[in-house]
Amino acid sequence: SKSYTITLLPGDGIGPEVISVAKNALKLVASLEGFEFKFKEVPVGGAALDLTGVPLPEETLSTAKGSDAVLLGAIGGYKWDNNEKHLKPETGLLQLRAGLKVFANLRPATVLPQLVDASTLKKDVAEGVDLMVVRELTGGIYFGKPRGFGTNGNGEEIGFNTEVYTTHEIDRIARVAFETARKRGGKLCSVDKANVLEASMLWRKRVTALASEYPDVELSHMYVDNAAMQLVRNPKQFDTIVTNNIFGDILSDEASMITGSIGMLPSASLGESGPGLFEPIHGSAPDIAGQDKANPLATVLSAAMLLKYGLGEEMAARRIEAAVLDTLDRGYRTGDIHSASQKLVGCKEMGEQVLKSIDSKVAAA
Ligand code: NAD
Ligand code: IPM
Ligand code: MN
């Protein structure tokens, strides 16, 4: 039968807890859809540092490159926070994204009807929010040179970075965003800081130039400070947002809270070819790691994105999404999305309930 190779990168903190849940969900939907998964589990981040001395071992990257899709938990933790730059868990993740050339990071923020009350925003503001942040992932200030430490003319210590984008980098992410908007609500908002930054001025120029190729998409531009404000003022005005690496990092965490919790937000990172990288947008949550408290749904929904965007297994993806809704309908909540009268459960139990929902949906069908 059809078989896919999936690289699993549990990573650090709550990473292994949430990956274990997602792996079980993937196995179950594969058996129901009549295909198979071969899982290859390899270390990344702090786990890799402890095992091999580097945050992205060559074997991890080559395993990832040789697979059909990659599912990552999270990386990072106090233990490695003071490591030198090249020995940080975060550097391993950036090397992985660069190595897989996954320049387009899709971060959907959807307020599920079951979770309207979990949002910190008023019900009428949060209800019905359904937006997609298209974040450029392999350029900008995260990768720009020159960068480093040094001294200035006064002998004072400095740290410096460079925000830089080429036409090619802007055009390819803009195209992904226009295509994404076209398949969604037909509205694209490009977020930048073109009133101050040259890299943003070029960004705006290129996005504007490409708009003529997508006459069916309504394009607007917004400065990032205003966008941060508008996201909590009236998030329903947004359909698809396209923005650079660092603004996308920040705005997607902000958008996650509209949906109730950062523990709900999945992501897909895609390149021109080769395997996609799928990961929750949250980090390793060291404050709750090892306590069976993490919300695994962001990772479970990332597994659904893996099935849809990574493998084209649309039906299997839908089974997972339906099961997540069903589990919430049945009242199960981890602490981050819990409110009175619901069943407070841990990561493992939430995972068990998702599996049960996948099963019962089959029985019902
Ligand atoms: P974080 O996302 O790990 O945690 C922020 C807050 O959200 C914490 O209170 C945490 O408990 C909570 N939270 C996060 N995920 C949750 C979940 N699934 N269920 C319930 N609560 C959840 O961000 P941070 O604290 O700024 O960073 C911690 C570490 O993670 C750092 O080392 C950072 O570099 C790393 N990090 C990694 C990634 C990644 O692997 N992609 C993303 C962000 C941060
Ligand atoms: C994320 C994280 C990463 C980023 C860090 C851990 C490198 O915050 O995936 O959002 O900034 O991209
Ligand atoms: Mn982030």
Q: Mean pLDDT of successive 10-residue segments in the chain (365 residues)?
A: 96 98 98 97 98 98 98 98 98 98 98 96 98 98 98 97 98 98 98 98 99 98 98 98 99 96 98 98 98 98 98 98 98 96 97 97 70
CA–chain centroid gap for 33, Å, is 25
Q: From residue 122, give the alpha-carbon distance in Å to each of 259, 317, 338.
A: 11, 31, 17
Beta strand segments in 101-144, E: 104-110, 130-136
> Rounded distance, CA 259 to CA 337, Å?
10
Known catalytic membership, residue 81: no
- What confidence score (pLDDT) does residue 363 get? 67
> Rounded distance, CA 233 to CA 212, Å?
30
- What's the gap in Å between 263 CA and the centre of ligand 3? 12
Known catalytic membership, residue 223: no
- What's the gap in Å between 283 CA and the centre of ligand 1? 3
The DSSP H or E segment spanning 178 is helix 167-183
What is the predicted ipTM?
Answer: 0.98
For atom 34 of ligand 1, the residue with the nearest CA is 76
Residues β-bridged to residue 278: 71, 268
265 C-beta closer than 6 A to ligand 2? no
For atom 8 of ligand 2, the residue with the nearest CA is 249
> Rounded distance, CA 310 to CA 303, Å?
9
Residue 4 has a CB neighbour count (10 Å cut-off) of 19
328 C-beta closer than 6 A to ligand 1? no
Known catalytic membership, residue 192: no
- What's the gap in Å between 249 CA and the centre of ligand 2? 7
* 120, amino acid identity: T
> Rounded distance, CA 210 to CA 56, Å?
36
pTM of the model: 0.98
Known catalytic membership, residue 193: yes
105 C-beta closer than 6 A to ligand 1? no
* 161, amino acid identity: N
Catalytic-role residue among 249, 293, 308, 326: 249
